[in-house]
Amino acid sequence: MQIPAEFSYERATSIDHALELLKSHGPETLLLAGGHSLLPMMKLRLARPECLIDINDLHELDFISSDGDRLRIGALTRHRALAESEEVARHFPIITDAERVIADPVVRNRGTIGGSLCQADPAEDLSTVCGTLRAEVVIRGPDGERTIPMVELHRGPYETTVAHGEILTEIRLPIRPGAGSAYEKVERRVGDWAIAAAGAAVWLDDGRIADAGVGLTAVGLDRGTATRAEEALRGRAPGDDVFAEAARLAAEDCDPVSDQRGPADYKRHLAGELVTRALRRATARALGQESTT
C-alpha cells in the first residue's frame, strides 16, 4: 500500500489566506492543487512536505477570460475546463490539441494548469504549450505580484522560480492577429506521457511568418523552446521547405535520452517530424484552411 509520509493539512479559503499560511509554516510546505502529480510523488517519497496547503477552494483562481489583447487563465483551472472551452479553442487550438492527449478524462477532472506548470516535469505538455505561445505567468507573494515570461518559470527539471511563500496565480496568453497553433504528440498508449511532442505557433502578416513559436516536450530541449528554429521561420513565406529547415534545427538542438519510452535517435527523429506536422497544421489554421474543432 502506498501512503504518503505524515504531514499536516491546511485548507486555504482565499489567496491572502494561502499566503498567510505559507508564511506561518516552514519551508517544507507545499501547495496542493489537483494533487495528481504531488500525491503520487509523496507516495513514492520523491516529495516529503511537512505541510500541505490545499488551494482547491480558491475559486477566484478558476477562470478563463479574455480582455481583448490577451487570454487570462487562472492557475486552478482544470484540464477539463481548458479542453472544453470554446474561447480557448478559438484563440489557441494548440491548447485544445494538447488537452485531448494529457493523461485521461478522469485525471483531467482534477489536474490544474498551475500544478502542471509548477510541477516542471520535462514531459509536461502545458509547459511547452505556454512557452510556444509566449505566455506570461503571474506570481503573487507577500510583497505583491510579479509577472515573468513562461520561459523564465523553470529553473530545471522539477524546479521553478516560484519561491517558498509565493503562489502562481495566473497565466496570460497574448492574442495577436494572423495566429495559428497546433500540438502534436506521440505516446505509447492512450493517456501516457509523451515519447516526444511538439508545439508550434505562427503569426502571419501579409503572407509571411511575422513571428513563430516552436517548442518540444520530453526531449531535453533547453527551456523547451527551439530558438534557432523560430529564427529560421521569421520573415519567411510558410511552406514545407521552410518547415523542414526549422524541424532540422529543432531536432539538432534537443538532447533526448534513451529510456523505456524509446531510444534517443528515435526521439530525435520524432522531434523533427512532429515540428514539421505542427507547423503545417498551425499555418493551415492561421490561413483558415482547417477548422479548429
Partner 1 sequence: MKVAMTVNGQEATADVEPRTLLVHFLRETLGLTGTHWGCDTSNCGVCVVLMDGEPVKSCTVLAAMASGHDVTTVEGMERDGQLDPVQQGFMECHGLQCGFCTSGMMLTARALLDRNPDPTDDEIREAISGQICRCTGYATIVRSVRWAAAHPAQQEAAAT
Positions touching ligand FAD (CB under 6 A) are: 30-38, 40, 75, 102-103, 107, 110-112, 114-116, 118-119, 124-126, 162, 167-168, 191, 193
Residue 14 is a binding residue for partner 1 (CB under 8 A): no
By a kind-dependent CB cut-off of 5 to 8 A, residue 9 interacts, out of partner 1, ligand FAD, none, with partner 1
Cell of 198: 511538439
The residue count for binding partner 1 (CB under 8 A) is: 28
Site string for partner 1, 143-162 (x = CB under 8 A): --------------------
Q: Which residue has the cell 513563430?
A: 212
Nearest-approach distance from CB 82 to partner 1, in angstroms: 15
Site stretch for partner 1 (CB under 8 A), options 97-105, 201-209, 213-221, 240-248: 97-105
Window 189 to 218, contacts with partner 1 (CB under 8 A): 190-191
Strand pairing of 159-160 and 154-156?
antiparallel
Which listed range, 4-12, 179-187, 218-226, 271-279, lies at the site for partner 1 (CB under 8 A)?
4-12
114 contact choice in partner 1, ligand FAD, none (CB below 5 to 8 Å, kind-dependent): ligand FAD
- Site for partner 1 (CB under 8 A): which residue of 12, 22, 31, 52? 52
Which CB, 9 or 291, lies closer to partner 1?
9
- Report phi then psi at 286, rounded to 5: -60, -35
If one asks whether residue 260 binds partner 1 (CB under 8 A), the answer comes out as no
Q: Which of 123, 117, 133, 142 is nearest to 197 (CA)?
A: 123
What is the greatest pairwise CA distance in the chain?
Answer: 60
Return all residues near 290 (Cβ < 8 A) that are at least 6 apart.
281, 284
3-state secondary structure 249-266: HHHHHCCCCCECCECHHH
CB 146: neighbour CB atoms within 10 A?
12
Backbone angles phi, psi at 249, to 5 degrees: -65, -40
